[in-house]
Every structure is written in structure tokens, then in C-alpha cells.
A and B are shown apart, each in its own frame.
Chain A
Amino acid sequence: MTSPEREFINKFLSLATLNAPALPADYKKSLHDVDNLGVALPPLRYKYDHKRA
């Protein structure tokens, strides 16, 4: 039996790919034209240890 989520994804993808998307998948607004960075993301609960990387 498939899960309700899997079923939703199937239907959703069928709808979403019915027409060609408005933007190509490799679309990239030029950084010259970027004038808004969106909203600040909340900090993660974990600290990054740069000495371990």
C-alpha cells in the first residue's frame, strides 16, 4: 500500500509538470539585479566546529 504522502506527490507532480514551467531549472537572476536577500533564517541549534572540518 502506498502512503497518502506518496500519492499526493504523484498527483502533485502530474499537475505541476502539465505545462512547461515559467522559469527554466537553470534560471539565475543576475547578481546585478538582486536587491533583496529575503528573510534571515533562524540560527541552527548546533554549533559548527571549524576545527573538525
Chain B
Amino acid sequence: MSANAKLARTLARFEARIENQDFYEAHQTLRTIANRYVRSKNYQEAIDLITQGAQSFLRAKQGGSATDLIFYLLEVYDTAQVKADDASVSRLIQLLVAIDPEEPNLKDVVTGMNNWSVKFGDYKFGDPYLHAVIGSKLIDGGHVYEAERYLVLGTHDSCEKYITLVWEWFEQTNDLATVGEFFSRLVFNYLFISNLQSAYTAKDQFLQKLIEKYSPKHEEINKDGFRMYYFESHSDLNFLQLLLLTCQTKDAGLYNNLKSHYAGSIEKYATQLDFLGQEYFGIKVQKPVNFMQDILSGILGGK
């Protein structure tokens, strides 16, 4: 019998057990056979079998067994040194799409998937397409801060999702005074990774929503291709828009000029601005001086 026919027969037996609600038996049998494949280094068969098994458990709403098999799949990925390419990533994406967002293991599952894509892919923080799906799943499960990080490092769609998330979050508070805290997350997170394109998209979309819904007193300013909204009672929003333009110029003089005018904002965002100062303007952050340490490290030849 060919390997494919054997695999198909195993899966048919497995499906029959799932249909009979014999989940424990189904799980054990599948793991035993997958183990056999792994030991004989038939990784592709093991991967196909485990993936299909996990999909069936997800369809049968058996989240525990399904996520156990997903972890097992990641183990096999690791053992077989599977590269993060279209096929291997989309296999994970299909599983992820089918997971119930309320699954208690969700955060561990996505971390496991991302760690694999870090280890066997070209991106230091993991695969962007994987991030896009992880991000929306985490939002659906209410894990917003975790979602935020993945969305920022995701695809173009993730940017739209991130803007919508921050907007809905702000709308839920329904407190206009807090709008700067929300808007600043979009601006800073995209500036940190030098994604001006998404920072501008976020600025335009978020502020347009704000104006449409709450009509705060504002004026549109257009200056040589730079467009901003001046808000009479939201100087933090003005500051953040100017910050975006300033980072684009990489002009340290302008940066210092901006900071000296908005003393209140720079206090609130001190660590964020230190980072941007270094990233865009080459301004080194002065560490507090410790003479003893300097002398000692001088003697020991360190530094």
C-alpha cells in the first residue's frame, strides 16, 4: 500500500472515531501513528496527519485536543527544521483561523507559532502574514495589548485593523479628554519601527473619525504637501501630528524646537521621545553619571 493510501486509511478511521465522539481514542491513535512517522523521519506524512487531525478536532469543538496537536505539529516543525515559507506558514494560518478565540491556550499557541517563525524565517520578530492573523484572533479573544504588537508588525490589513481597534477602544470610553492617549499609541508604535506610511494612514483615518463623530473645534492646515488638523482644545493631538512631520525631516534642531514648545507633552512621553531622538536625530540619551563605576571600569579596561 502506498504511503498516501495508508495515510488516508488512518485518517478515515480517525474521522470515524471523532464522529462517534470517541475523542480520547481518536487522539491517542493519531499521536501513536504520527510518532511512528516522526521516528522513521517521514516528517511530511507526520505533518499532514497531525494537521488534519487538529483541523478535525477544531471542527468538533475539541479545543484541548486540537491545541495539543498544534503544539505537537510545532515540535515536528522544529525537529524537521521546516523553513518558514508560504506552505508551512499558511498551514498554521489555517489552523489559527479555525481556533475558538476564547480557547484558554490561545496565547501560548500563537507564541509557539511565532517563535517557530522567528527561528526558521527571515524576520527577527516573526512572519508578518502570521502576525496579521494572530493579531485579529487575539482581538477577538480580548487580548488587546498582545494583539497590538502583532498588528504593528503585520501586513497592510493589520494597519487598518489596528486603527479600528484603537478607535473602538477610545469610543468605548466615550471621554474626549483621553483621545490623545489613544492616538499616541498609533503614532509611536509606527514611528518606532520607521513605518511612516502607516503612521500617516493612522493619523488621517483616526482623526477623520474623531472629527466625524465628535466635531471638536478644528481647522485644517495645508502646508507644502503636509496636511494636519489643528485642534483648539487638544494640543496633544497637534503635538503628535507635528512630531510625525519632524521625524520625517530628521532635523534635530526642529525636534528640539518642537519639544521646547510642548513641555507638557514631552513630560508625558519622555521615554518614547528619548527613543525617537536617538532613532531619527542621533541624539544620545545621557545616562546618569556614576563616578565610581566609571573609575572602576576604567581600571578594569571595560566601558
Contacts and interface: CB of A to CB of B under 8 A. Distances in A.
Given A8-B261, A15-B254, A38 B245 contact: no
B160 interface: no
A9 B238 contact: yes
Contact of B235 (A5, A39, A44, A45): A5
Interface residues of A, number: 40
Nearest to A11: B257
Contact of A43 (B145, B188, B228): B145
Contact of B226 (A3, A17, A36): A17
Contacts of B195: 28-29
B188 A38 contact: yes
Contacts of A45: 178, 181
Interface residues of B, number: 63
A23 B271 CA distance: 23
Given A46-B169, A48-B144, A9 B249 contact: no
Interface in B175-195: 178, 181-182, 184-185, 188-189, 191-195
Interface in B227-256: 228, 230, 232, 235, 238, 242, 245-251, 254
Interface string A20-40: 011111111101101111110
Contacts of B139: 50, 53
A16 B122 CA distance: 37
A12 B257 contact: yes
A41 interface: yes
A32 B122 CA distance: 7
Contact of A35 (B124, B144, B245): B124
B172 A48 contact: yes
B120 to A, nearest CB: 15
27 contacts: A12-B258, A13-B221, A13-B226, A13-B228, A13-B242, A13-B245, A14-B223, A16-B242, A16-B249, A16-B251, A17-B223, A27-B196, A27-B248, A28-B196, A28-B197, A28-B198, A29-B193, A31-B128, A32-B122, A34-B194, A38-B276, A38-B279, A44-B169, A45-B178, A46-B172, A48-B168, A48-B172
